[in-house]
């Protein structure tokens, strides 16, 4: 797994670059198509037997990388993949912050095979590992995290997506004196931010996409943090789909090991536009500069890498 890290980095960098031409364009379909085609092409050049267990759609929803799609050369290790060629398509096409190209990888059978539906999530960093409980109230979790972190509740900072469905939680946190950081799109990086000590973010909470939950879980596990989740099927069809994917009780509380049950896992993300951890793509004369985050669960290390991609003027026009 570890030896494939830079192969996956090449995939996220190239997918991010493929989408860069569509930043600010308003064209969601073309941005998605460019990033997905790039990611699929390069994944199929890697010496692995990969299976997409977290993807963007079903087999009939081309050009998305669909759940169950086989990628790689068919040789080498058997790997489960969670992929999102663009996490934050709306920010991409609107020229806003918080768009990334991202991959998480783990040995076969190690990642939750989660359908594309809503998921309730709570996450925290290493200091409060083993303390959070999604079955308890928000207030109970805040007090537990505060005690584990050596803080008072009014010293906590909680990151949460700015959505109407979260307003009750936002009000509750602020009523206890806690601080709330709001973000608009893409909850993968905000969830992982709880494990980056210098950001001083104590907890992430909210309802968002299940695929993004599994992606974030790989980064959080790799950095020694903690996360719990619960799928939120809204219809009978969604409920039955969960069961077909192996979830006997679709509404059960999921601990971190249910989301990813191997330490030998990788999380790689390349910025398309800026976010709190990664810079977006920059263009400088005859080159593009990408900035990426690499997290390795085996050695519990977080690395940053900056790559300069040189091009001819003719090639630049096609990016």
pTM attached to this predicted model: 0.93
Q: What's the per-residue H, E or C state across the chain?
A: CHHHHHHHHHHHHHHHHHHHCCCCCCCHHHHHHHHHHHHHHHHCCCCCEEEEEECCECCCCCCCCECCCEECCCCCCEEEEEEEEEECHHHHHHCCCCCEEEEEEEECCCECCCCCCEEEEEEECHHHCCCCCCCCCHHHHHHHHHHHHCCCHHHCEEEEECCHHHHHHHHHHHHCCCEEEEECCCCHHHHHHHHCHHHCCCEEEEEEEHHHHHHHHHHHHHCCCEEEEEECCCCHHHHHHHHHCCCCCCCCCECHHHHECCCCCEEEEEECCCCCCCCCCEEECCEEEEEEEEEECCCCEEEEEEEEEECCHHHHCCC
**For the domain that residue 221 is a member of, what is the CATH number?**
3.40.190.90
- My answer on whether 142 and 250 are in the same domain is yes
Q: Which two tokens stand for residue 285?
A: 């004369």
* Overall number of domains in the chain: 2
**For the domain that residue 306 is a member of, what is the CATH number?**
3.30.540.10
- My answer on whether 137 and 65 are in the same domain is no
pLDDT at 2: 78
Q: Which two tokens stand for residue 130?
A: 């083993």
Residue where one domain finishes, among candidates 232, 259, 286: 259
Burial annotation 87-115 (CB, 10 A radius, 16+ → b, else e): bbbebbbbebbbbbbbbbbbbeebbbbbb
The number of residues in the chain equals: 319
Residue where one domain finishes, among candidates 236, 259, 282: 259
Per-residue pLDDT tens digits for 100-114: 999 999 999 999 988
Mean pLDDT of the chain: 92
- My answer on whether 218 and 234 are in the same domain is yes
pLDDT at 58: 55
> What is the rounded average pLDDT of the residues 211-239?
94
Whether the pLDDT of residue 314 is over 70: the answer is no
- My answer on whether 132 and 232 are in the same domain is yes
pLDDT at 71: 96
- My answer on whether 19 and 97 are in the same domain is yes
- My answer on whether 28 and 82 are in the same domain is yes
Per-residue pLDDT tens digits for 190-208: 999 999 999 999 999 999 9
Print the domain residue range for 214. Answer: 118-259
- My answer on whether 270 and 255 are in the same domain is no
pLDDT at 59: 44
Q: Which two tokens stand for residue 224?
A: 């020694």
Per-residue pLDDT tens digits for 252-310: 999 999 999 999 999 999 999 999 999 999 998 899 999 999 999 998 889 999 999 99
Per-residue pLDDT tens digits for 32-90: 999 999 999 999 999 999 999 998 765 445 457 888 899 999 988 999 999 999 999 99
In the chain, what percentage of residues exceed pLDDT 70? 95
Backbone angles phi, psi at 39, to 5 degrees: -65, -45
């Amino acid at each position: 797994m570890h030896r494939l890290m830079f192969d996956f980095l090449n995939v996220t960098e190239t997918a991010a670059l493929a989408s860069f031409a569509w930043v600010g364009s308003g064209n969601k379909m073309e941005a998605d198509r460019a990033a997905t085609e790039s990611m699929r092409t390069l994944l199929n050049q890697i010496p692995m037997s990969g299976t997409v267990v977290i993807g963007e759609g079903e087999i009939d929803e081309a050009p998305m990388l669909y759940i169950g799609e086989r990628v790689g050369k068919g040789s080498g290790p058997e790997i489960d993949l969670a992929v999102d060629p663009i996490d934050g398509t709306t920010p991409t096409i609107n020229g806003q912050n918080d768009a990334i190209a991202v991959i998480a990888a783990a040995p076969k059978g190690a990642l939750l095979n989660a359908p594309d539906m809503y998921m309730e999530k709570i996450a925290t960093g290493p200091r409060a590992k083993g303390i959070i409980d999604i079955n308890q109230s928000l207030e109970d979790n805040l007090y537990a995290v505060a005690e584990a972190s050596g803080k008072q509740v009014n010293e906590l900072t909680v990151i949460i997506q700015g959505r109407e469905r979260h307003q009750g939680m936002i009000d509750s946190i602020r009523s206890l004196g806690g601080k709330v950081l709001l973000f608009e799109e893409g909850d993968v990086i905000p969830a992982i931010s709880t494990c980056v000590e210098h950001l001083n973010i104590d907890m992430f909470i909210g309802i968002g996409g299940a695929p993004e939950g599994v992606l974030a879980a790989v980064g959080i596990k790799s950095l020694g943090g903690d996360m719990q989740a619960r799928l939120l099927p809204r219809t009978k069809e969604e409920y039955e789909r969960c069961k077909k994917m192996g979830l006997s009780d679709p509404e059960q509380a999921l601990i971190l090991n249910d989301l990813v049950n191997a330490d030998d896992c990788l999380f790689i993300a390349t910025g398309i536009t800026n976010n709190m951890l990664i810079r977006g793509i920059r263009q400088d004369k005859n080159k593009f500069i990408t900035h990426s985050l690499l997290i390795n669960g085996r050695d519990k290390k977080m690395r940053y890498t900056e790559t300069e991609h040189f091009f001819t003027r003719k090639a630049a026009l096609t990016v």
